[in-house]
């Protein structure tokens, strides 16, 4: 089982250490090295349409799952109470379908925000 230790910071560091989940609440950002061992840096923005962070005083959970589709490893995993739970790999078709849905969700979110400000 891979564990990511949460570290709350103001700014994400330039160099990310292995096994640490850096969390900047000020900038709504989370960063870590891919737990598959490929060494790629993974950044997850926090927002209602990106990732949500849950912290119970000990463990951190990020939802939804993290899919590193742009990396060669294409790792897919959940972070639940600091533990990495690897999920099955997705097909290119499924990845593209989810990317399109995410883009539509993001567009709808910002459209609704603009309308509420008017």
List the structure tokens of 90.
């997705």
Q: Phi and psi for 65 in degrees, rounded to 5?
A: -65, 165
Residue 89: pLDDT band with limits 50, 70, 90: confident
Q: Looking at the predicted structure, is the pLDDT value of residue 117 above 90?
A: no
What is the pTM assigned to this prediction? 0.87
Q: Looking at the DSSP assignment, which residues form a beta bridge with residue 30? A: 23, 44
Q: Which residues does 52 contact at the CB level (< 8 Å), separation at least 6?
A: 46, 62, 63
Q: How far apart are CA 94 and CA 30, in angstroms?
A: 25
Per-residue pLDDT tens over the stretch 99-112? 899 889 888 888 88
Q: Which of 10-19, 41-50, 99-108 has the lowest mean pLDDT?
A: 99-108
> Does residue 64 have a cis peptide bond before it, meaning omega lies within 30 degrees of 0?
yes
């Amino acid at each position: 089982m891979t564990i990511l230790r949460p570290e709350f910071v103001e700014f994400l560091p330039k160099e990310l250490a292995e096994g640490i989940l850096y969390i900047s609440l000020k900038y709504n950002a989370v960063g870590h090295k891919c737990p598959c061992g490929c060494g790629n840096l993974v950044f997850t923005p926090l927002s209602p349409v990106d990732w949500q962070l849950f912290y119970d005083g000990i463990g951190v959970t990020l939802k939804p799952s993290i899919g590193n589709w742009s990396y060669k490893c294409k790792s897919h995993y959940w972070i639940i109470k600091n533990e990495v739970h690897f999920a099955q790999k997705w097909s290119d078709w499924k990845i593209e379908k989810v990317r399109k849905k995410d883009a539509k969700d993001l567009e709808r979110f910002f459209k609704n925000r603009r309308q509420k400000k008017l």
